[in-house]
Amino acid sequence: MIRLKHLDLRRLIISLAVVTGLIMLANSFYASYKAQEQILIKNRLQLNHAYATKVASATSDYLASSMQLLRYSAKEVNKLMDIPQALQTEVSRVYRQTESFDSVLVADATGKVLAAAPLDTLIGKSLETLGAKEALQLQSPVISKPYTGASGNRVIVLSQPIFSASGKYLGYIGGSIYLGQANSLDRLLSEHYYSDGSYLFAVDQDRQLLYHPESRRVGTTVGQNPVVDAVLAGETGYMQARNSQGIEMLAGYAPLTIAGWGIVAQAPTNAALEPLGALMAGVLKDTAIPALIILGLAWWMARLISRPLSQLAQGARALDQPETAEKIGQVEPWYYEASQLKKAMLESMNTFHHRIVKLNLDAQTDALTGLLNRRGQEMALAALEQSRQDFAIVAVDIDHFKPVNDTWGHDTGDLILQFLADAMRTCSRDEDLLCRSGGEEFLMLLPATPPDGAQHVAERLRAHVDAWHGLPGPGHITISLGVAYWSPEGGSVEASLKRADEALYNAKKNGRNRVEMAR
């Protein structure tokens, strides 16, 4: 059989040091990457929020200024309602004075248009548009909901009521702003300073788009969107969310209180993270040389650490040779742990070897019972055989265990297995090796124990279990045991295990709840 060559202790420690260093470097790089990612995302969220807030404030000022202009004009035209030429002159002045409106008109209390600019074809007609109805019904300052106007454009109307000196309602003066057209509102919302896929849109309380860089979408309704939900609820802030096209976006939002609108500025997450590659390349460049130096130091220190341990390991491989103690004594450990290891080896090589074996076996335990599992059992047997120390074998099996699982369930069966493991610990020594071979089968390895001593241990365990009542489920169990013995001159360990199994089989065949000795 071909056996793979084992790594020596020096190479193993060096490999561990190098791998650990690389893992730490990778972890640091990853942590730096995530930190930079979060910084970029948060900065862009805050930037979008600030931009949305700025645009909302500017738009609010624009609307407030436009409403003020109409309010002033409403006070002027209340004296001109019966003078058509003068009324038309005032309407034309309001239309031409600023670029706030795409059209301006004055209607009387019935909705009949008395003057209009530039759409003078509307004069004499009664308007039935949403803006006209809101103005006539509320008789107060109104910023209407968006609708399709008489001109065929998507429009919002700003209106101010007109009252006589005695307080009688005479009508209203209104200014129309066409959505998606080149005007002051469009320029205000479209002044965007980024070219990385970011954009801004405005939405009203009915979730209709008032502005969008894709003009074809103006007037459409926005579907489920947590950003729109938040801004229309009057909230201001930022969040990371997907837009209607399923793209991950970084959105900042602010409400436009004067009109009940919401302003949202957002950018694709991928675009915001585009500088991350260059940042991480810089981080990698800055950390590469220090990392190589640290790895080199780790490699050098690992060699220093491994040297005395390697020398001690060479001595441990030749414990049966008389000159081994002298060679171990010549090792010069330079740190405490190696010195203590050397001292322990010199004080008792056999004890040291046993502890190493025991330590390795502790990692090979059965999760349910805390005993050695099948792999740990194999390692324990190999160690005992290599040390050429005679030992006894006690094979243990629970009588009629299958009906316990079938009748009371596996949870009850697990409790009984744990009970037996505790009983084995109670009836054994610290140096004895206790194993769960599988299912309800257990094994006790008793170093330096003659056959009669092993029989005594087995009988004590049997009696202890037989005397115990009050277990969950069946309340009481019994066990059958087979005892065998191994010595360096007595054949293979496998043969001794087989003899213990045969003795256990005889115990079962001869009535159970008994101990049988192998030949």
Print the SS3 string covering 72-95. Answer: HHHHHHCCCCCCHHHHHHHHHHHH
33 in any annotated domain: yes
Identify the pLDDT of residue 4. 47
5 in any annotated domain: no
Q: Measuring CA to CA, how many Å separate 376 from each of 68, 170, 263, 427?
A: 89, 100, 68, 20
Buried b (16+ CB within 10 A) or exposed e, 109-124: eebebbbbbebeebbe
- One-letter identity of residue 464: H
CA distance linking residue 194 with residue 207, whole number of Å: 25
Residues linked to residue 450 through DSSP beta bridges, in sequence order? none
CA distance linking residue 105 with residue 127, whole number of Å: 11
Q: At 155, is the secondary structure helix, strand, or coil?
A: strand
The domain that contains 486 carries what CATH number?
3.30.70.270
Residues 472 and 423 in one domain: yes
CA 499 to chain centre: 55
Residues 392 and 482 in one domain: yes
The overall pTM is greater than 0.75: no
Domain end position, chosen among 176, 208, 228? 176
Contact 447, 391 (CB under 8 A): yes
Identify the pLDDT of residue 508. 93
Identify the pLDDT of residue 389. 87
Residues 198 and 260 in one domain: yes
- Among 447, 441, 509, 445, CA closest to 483: 445
Q: At 250, is the secondary structure helix, strand, or coil?
A: strand
Q: At 480, is the secondary structure helix, strand, or coil?
A: strand
Residues 365 and 496 in one domain: yes
Residues 111 and 125 in one domain: yes
Q: How many domains does the chain have?
A: 4
Identify the pLDDT of residue 343. 78
Identify the pLDDT of residue 10. 62
Give the number of other CB atoms < 10 A from CB of residue 277: 10
223 in any annotated domain: yes
CA distance linking residue 358 with residue 318, whole number of Å: 19
CA distance linking residue 497 with residue 493, whole number of Å: 6
Residues 501 and 369 in one domain: yes
51 in any annotated domain: no
Residues linked to residue 391 through DSSP beta bridges, in sequence order? 447, 486
CA distance linking residue 397 with residue 216, whole number of Å: 81
Give the number of other CB atoms < 10 A from CB of residue 33: 16
CA distance linking residue 87 with residue 114, whole number of Å: 8
Q: With left for phi above 0 and alpha for psi between -120 and 50, is residue 101 left, alpha or beta?
A: beta
Residues 108 and 189 in one domain: no
Identify the pLDDT of residue 2. 44
- One-letter identity of residue 474: P
337 in any annotated domain: no
How many CA atoms lie within 13 Å of 277's alpha carbon, on the beta-carbon side?
Answer: 3
Residues 483 and 370 in one domain: yes
Q: At 299, is the secondary structure helix, strand, or coil?
A: helix
447 in any annotated domain: yes
Buried b (16+ CB within 10 A) or exposed e, 55-87: bbeebbebbeebbebbeebbeebbebbeeeeeb
CA distance linking residue 516 with residue 481, whole number of Å: 6
Residues 370 and 492 in one domain: yes
Bond into 141 cis (ω within 30): no
48 in any annotated domain: no
Domain end position, chosen among 272, 292, 322? 272
Buried b (16+ CB within 10 A) or exposed e, 180-192: beebbbbebbeee
CA distance linking residue 233 with residue 227, whole number of Å: 10
Residues 480 and 396 in one domain: yes
Domain end position, chosen among 228, 252, 272? 272
Record the tokens describing residue 307, joined without a space.
């040297």
By DSSP bridging, strand 103-108 and strand 515-517 are unpaired
Question: Domain range holding 319?
Answer: 11-39+277-332
CA distance linking residue 262 with residue 225, whole number of Å: 13
With helix as H, strand as E and coil as C, how does 182-227 read? CCHHHHHHHCCCCCCCCEEEEECCCCEEEECCCHHHCCCECCCCHH
Contact 499, 483 (CB under 8 A): no
CA distance linking residue 373 with residue 360, whole number of Å: 12
C-alpha dihedral sign at 441, 447, 451, 454: negative
Q: What angle do CA 398, 448, 341 make, to 5 degrees?
A: 110
Residues 510 and 393 in one domain: yes
Record the tokens describing residue 98, joined without a space.
């600023």
Contact 81, 108 (CB under 8 A): yes
Contact 16, 295 (CB under 8 A): no
Under-50 pLDDT residues of the chain: 1-4
224 in any annotated domain: yes
Residues 289 and 370 in one domain: no
CA 148 to chain centre: 48
CA 51 to chain centre: 31
Burial-class residue 232 by CB neighbours within 10 Å (0-12, 13-18, 19+).
buried
DSSP state of 120: G
φ and ψ of 62, to 5 deg: -60, -45
DSSP state of 179: T
